[in-house]
Amino acid sequence: MRVLNVAEKNDAAKNIALCANRGPPNRREGLSQYNKIYEFQYQINGHQCTMIMTSVSGHLLTQDFSPQYRQWQSCPIVELFDAPLQTICPPNYQNIKRTLEREARTCQQLIIWTDCDREGENIGYEVIEVCRAANPRLGPQHVWRARFSEITPQAVNNALRNLVPPDERISNAVACRSELDLRIGAAFTRLMTMRFREIAQYKPFLNEKGLLSYGSCQFPTLGFVVERYKEISRFIREDFWKIKVTHEFKKPEKARVEFHWQRVRLFDQLCCEVIFDICKERPEATVTGLTEKPKSKWRPLPMDTIELEKLASRMLKINAKETMRIAEKLYSQGLISYPRTETNIFPKDFGLPNLVQQQIASPVWGAFAQNLLQLGPNPRAGKKSDQAHPPIHPLKFAPNLAGNEKRVYELIVRHFLATCSGDAKGFETILTIQITEEFFQADGLVITERNYLDVYPYDKWEAKTIPHCSVGLKFIPTRIEMAAGQTSPPALLSESDLIALMEKHGIGTDATHAEHIETIQTRQYAGMNDDRRFTPGRIGMGLVDGYDAIDRAMSRPHLRSQLEASLKDICEGRRNKADVLQEQIDNYRGIFLQAQAQIQKLRDALDRYTQ
């Protein structure tokens, strides 16, 4: 019996075949240069099978409006909410499709090995659709879903012993999301672009094509940037006052120590002055406590995509989009593992020692790796798993990289070695003194074991000496002073902040955060200042304000969150696709008609910011 197996990408197909075959399988070319065909023998339920393993490259099919609706002037825009859609295989995927069709004709069974997430289930149905059209004998009893939580020999064999039918509900949830994104995106994008592109006053602030787009992810992303900007504009600074005590200890050891007030600060100047005067009058300080307790600084969790993007942005000042471009290149050169992963826990028996061993060759961190190998790699375990890909880790030592590729690779290696190492350990000392009725304290830190910090310069943990003086010791502080200050607004969003907000509100996926952030910049809705923080542009401010005046929901994250909840209902059988689709379309058509009728509100807002 011949069995066609299809994974979501070539890398997965290769590894699954390797695991199932317990060794390298035969490899031959398909029509697509990136998607190879792997062949091996395997027994399923006592049947000897010739396994044909190949892959797609993500979604094989996409949806678009029927041709008569694709011209922007072809119909009243509101019709896009109901216009018929077509399923298309884009030209650059035709080779993959033809390979599937050709192989499907010779097979009696089909096993779907796409990633075990929502999109994967939908991609699985695209594969089924194409294969079944080529070979109608691949009926429901001949099509199976392999469920796996990682690509290891055990998980792969287990999946083959426990094949299940594919889950159409999960696929339907994705089809629902995808249709809504298209209809809503196209409708609002055409409306805004056609109404505003030609207005001279806006032109200096628009992108080259004059495209004003709306999308269910790009707009909430812009919303976060605008919201933070406005929060800062609204912020009213408040004056406060505080008392600072400094002492230059001569014994038991020499040290300059700053004590901070236990009241932290007061917003009443007079009140602070009164207390300050009392302290100055009777400045003698008495040590009332010295506590010392162990403190550790945790080594980082295994790296997932979001962490890579955030770290590279913060520590290397390389933006998320560029980081992913580089990571994909390193991956295609076989230097690092698959860079799009939501997993931050290494599977058991992952072969970490071998991966650490690779790094011993480095003149920079080789010694650290050598030492780590002797102690045994002991990674911290996170709680997230996408059930397909392990955390990002180096595969080989790569001495010949340069520029940002070298820096990103180094970050990945150092992070990997750090996560496999031990927490930093030390002691925290808290010294408390009393001056009249007021208490002040100073914190000290002694680092006893640096451990992971030795290989991970991105974390700072600074030792601070506090003299070991005994309780009851009295001294006159070198200085007691009153200082004035002002509360300060939060900072503009950094890229790392923005990614964190997107993740928290379920805007986009780990693979798309960087793209949405890039989109709001290429649309000139937002820009990045010299501190690498996001500032809204004039059009961005105007659009958010304008939509706020029509329907607050448009630039806020909760519409997307609500859709996510409905999609979950579809997956779990509580609702069906048609029902959710109708509800969402009706809702957005309503907002669209409002926006069209009240387009002047959008114009007014844009006018305000572009004068």
Q: Cα(34)–Cα(12) distance, rounded to whole angstroms?
A: 12
Question: Is 338 known to be catalytic?
Answer: yes
Residue 219 corresponds to which amino acid?
Answer: F
Task: Identify the residue among 215, 223, 390, 540 touching DNA (CB under 7 A).
Answer: 215
80: how many CB neighbours lie within 10 A of its CB? 24
Contact 312, 532 (CB under 8 A): no
Looking at 212-220, 253-261, 416-424, 590-598, which segment touches DNA (CB under 7 A)?
212-220
The span from the CA of 516 to the CA of 302, in Å, is 25
Select the residue interacting with DNA from 178, 207, 357, 594 (CB under 7 A). 178
Closest approach of Cβ 212 to DNA, in Å? Answer: 9
Q: Is 519 in the site for DNA (CB under 7 A)?
A: yes
Q: Which of 27, 47, 70, 552 binds DNA (CB under 7 A)?
A: 70
63 vs 371 by CB, closer to DNA: 63
Complex with DNA: residue 212 or 469, whichever CB lies closer:
212
**What is the spatial distance between Cα 586 and Cα 577, in angstroms, rounded to a whole number?**
14
- Pick the piece of the chain touching DNA (CB under 7 A) from 113-121, 372-380, 428-436, 597-605: 113-121
* Given 202, 214, 261, 592, the residue binding DNA (CB under 7 A): 214
The CA distance from 417 to 409, in Å, is 12
Find tokens 């700072």 and name the residue.
Answer: 460
Rounded distance, CA 63 to CA 239, Å? 57
Question: What binding mask, one character per residue, do residues 128-167 give for DNA by CB under 7 A, x or -?
Answer: ----------------------------------------
Distance CA 104, CA 135 (A): 6
373 in contact with DNA (CB under 7 A):
no
Distance between CA atoms of 6 and 85, rounded to whole angstroms?
A: 26
Which 448-507 positions form the footprint of DNA (CB under 7 A)? Answer: none
Q: Minimum distance between the CB of residue 503 and DNA, rounded to whole angstroms?
A: 12
351 SS3 class? coil
User: Would strands 438-449 and 255-261 be described as parallel, antiparallel, or unpaired?
Assistant: antiparallel
- Quick one: 223 or 426, whose CB is closer to DNA? 223
When binding is defined by CB under 7 A, the residue of 57, 357, 404, 465 that contacts DNA is: 57
Does residue number 512 form part of the binding site for DNA (CB under 7 A)? yes
- Classify strands 285-297 and 424-435 as parallel, antiparallel or unpaired: antiparallel
Smallest gap from residue 508 Cβ to DNA (A): 4
End-to-end CA distance of the chain: 72
x/- mask, DNA, residues 285-304, rule CB under 7 A, reads --------------------
- Helical ranges in 347-437 per DSSP H: 352-358, 366-375, 403-420
Choosing from 21, 97, 103, 119, the residue that interacts with DNA (CB under 7 A) is 119
Residue type, 29: E
Using CB under 7 A as the binding rule, whether residue 340 contacts DNA is answered as: yes
Query: Binding to DNA by residue 511, rule CB under 7 A?
Result: yes
309 is a site residue for DNA (CB under 7 A):
no
Judged by beta carbon, residue 379 or residue 537, the one nearer DNA is 537
> How many Å apart are CA 27 and CA 14, to the nearest integer?
9
Which of 125, 202, 229, 338 does the annotation list as catalytic? 338
The 10 Å Cβ neighbour count of residue 361 is 13
Under the criterion CB under 7 A, does residue 58 sit at the interface with DNA? yes
Which residue is associated with the tokens 């933006």? 319
Pick the closer one to DNA by CB: 86 or 487.
86
Identity of the amino acid at 418:
A
Tell me the closest approach of the beta carbon of residue 564 to DNA, in angstroms: 9
117 binds DNA per the rule CB under 7 A: yes
Could you say whether residue 8 binds DNA (CB under 7 A)?
yes
Quote the least distance from Cβ 583 to DNA, whole Å: 18
Kind of pairing between the strands at 255-261 and 285-297: unpaired
Q: Rounded to the nearest whole angstrom, what is the least distance from the CB of residue 323 to DNA in the complex?
A: 14
Cα–Cα distances in angstroms (integers) from residue 162 to residues 44, 101, 142, 238, in the given order: 10, 26, 14, 64
**Cis geometry, peptide bond prior to residue 283 (ω within 30 degrees of 0):** no
The residue range among 206-214, 245-253, 360-368, 400-408 that interacts with DNA, by the rule CB under 7 A, is: 206-214
Task: Report the nearest approach of DNA to the CB of residue 66 (Å).
Answer: 10
Of the pair 80, 279, the CB lying nearest DNA is at: 80
User: Which one of residues 36, 97, 145, 177 is an interface residue with DNA (CB under 7 A)?
Assistant: 177
Q: How far is the CB of 263 from DNA (least distance, A)?
A: 47
In 334-454, DSSP assigns E strands to 424-435, 438-449
62 counts as binding DNA under rule CB under 7 A:
yes
Residue 94 in the binding site for DNA (CB under 7 A): no
> Is residue 333 at the binding interface for DNA, with CB under 7 A as the rule?
no
Phi then psi dihedrals of residue 262, to 5 deg: -70, -20
35 binds DNA (CB under 7 A): yes
Burial 537-569 (b: 16+ CB within 10 A, else e): bbbbbbbbbbbbebbebbbbbebbeebbebbeb
Q: Look at residues 592, 595, 260, 599 and name the one whose alpha carbon lies nearest to residue 430.
A: 260
Structure token digits, residue 181: 């994104």
| Site size for DNA (CB under 7 A) | 53
Kindly tell me which of 207 and 465 has the beta carbon lying closer to DNA: 207
78 contact partners, CB below 8 Å, separation of at least 6: 187, 589, 592, 593, 596
Choose between 90 and 153: whose C-beta lies nearer to DNA.
90
Q: Is 332 in the site for DNA (CB under 7 A)?
A: yes
Query: Are 283 and 258 spatial neighbours (Cβ–Cβ below 8 Å)?
Result: no
The catalytic residues are: 338
Instruction: Catalog residues that contact DNA under the rule CB under 7 A.
Output: 8-11, 32, 34-35, 57-59, 62-65, 70-73, 92-93, 96, 115, 117, 119, 123, 177-178, 181-182, 185-186, 189-190, 193, 197, 209, 211, 213-219, 328, 332, 340, 508-509, 511-512, 516, 519
